[in-house]
Amino acid sequence: MKRRGPRIMIIVLISVALLAAAILTALPGTTRSRIGDAFGPVFDPVLQFFQKTSDTITGYFGAVSENRKLRAEKTALEEEIARLNLEIMENEDKVKAYAELKDALHLVTSFEKSYITGASVLNRDMGPLFDLFRVRAGRLHGIMVEPGQTLPVVDQDMALIGRVHSTELSSSKVMPLVHEAFAVSARVEGTHRFSFRVRGDLELGEQGLCLADHFAEGTPVAVGDRLVTSGESGVYPEGIIIGTVIEIRRDSQGRTLSCVVQPTAQLVDVSYVFILTEQQDES
């Protein structure tokens, strides 16, 4: 204890002296200059150390605060970008639907005796065999298939996609024209005397093609001819575009047996269709 007491006193005296010197050096005048000259070599490194430490601490907390601010701004910008991207996607869908509806206005004049109901495609994946696909229009929209009735389905360019197979409350199933169970009476565009059948074929359907057969002898048909519905059966209105002949199959005597037809409608990429329904008599 006796040894520790003097040491404590010496430390206290030195501390008081240093504090007094620091205070005096902060005062203006000659006294400050003299004391600063005497104790400068001691105080300058100490003051520089404390100043550097203070600057480091201040810079650290400033950087932390700035990083928090930047992170908040980054989060806000990411949310804004996500919102804008969603708006762009929604607007693109609206523009596409508007363009398709605008292009389809001529359907109203082409099929004056039919009601036209637009419907978006709910599932685009029709599989390798182009099986049935579903559209957003059903009994609530007036789409009902009675026994023996066929409701044609076309795109905005008046090209045949298929027919309504069955209906539900708010949706319907569509059978595409390349389906093996599909058939329609057709003719070469610009001719009216000869009609034949266009139907789906199991093998060709895998390639997105269909088959034309039941040709009467002398029916004029060539590669590149465009086929349309004949309207003879009364099931499909006359003049709906079906597709283009890309191959003719003949027998040994040169008579036409069948033709391979490339549908005009883009079945895989279709996103909006139009269903034709007959207008009911007022009675």
**123 or 162, higher pLDDT:** 162
Residue 128's pLDDT is 47
Asked whether the predicted pLDDT for residue 241 surpasses 90, the reply is: yes
Q: At 215, is the pLDDT very low, low, confident or very high (cuts 50, 70, 90)? A: very high
Integer Cα distance of 195 and 214 in angstroms: 9
Contact by Cβ (8 Å): 182, 200: yes
What is the domain partition of the chain in residue ranges?
Answer: 1-103, 112-278
Whole-number average pLDDT of the chain: 77
Amino acid at 43: F
Residue 277's pLDDT is 82
Mode of pairing for the β-strands spanning 183-188 and 160-167 = unpaired
CA distances from 260 to 18, 118, 264 (A): 106, 30, 13
Residues 96-117: what's their mean pLDDT?
60
User: CA torsion 159→197→149→267, rounded to 10°?
Assistant: -30
Residue 224's pLDDT is 95
In the CATH hierarchy, which top-level class contains the domain 112-278?
A: mainly beta
Over residues 174-212, the pLDDT tens digits come to 999 999 999 999 999 988 888 999 999 989 988 999 999
User: By mean pLDDT, which of 14-28, 81-95, 152-166 is the weakest?
Assistant: 14-28
Encoding tokens for residue 124?
């685009």
What is the share, in percent, of the chain residues with pLDDT greater than 70? 65
CA distances from 192 to 66, 152, 189, 232 (A): 80, 21, 8, 10
**33 or 160, higher pLDDT:** 160
User: Residue 244: beta bridge partners?
Assistant: 226, 262
Integer Cα distance of 181 and 257 in angstroms: 20
Residue 270's pLDDT is 83
Q: At 61, is the pLDDT very low, low, confident or very high (cuts 50, 70, 90)? A: low
Asked whether the predicted pLDDT for residue 159 surpasses 80, the reply is: yes
Residues 49-67: what's their mean pLDDT?
64
What is the value of pTM for the model shown? 0.60
Residue 129's pLDDT is 47
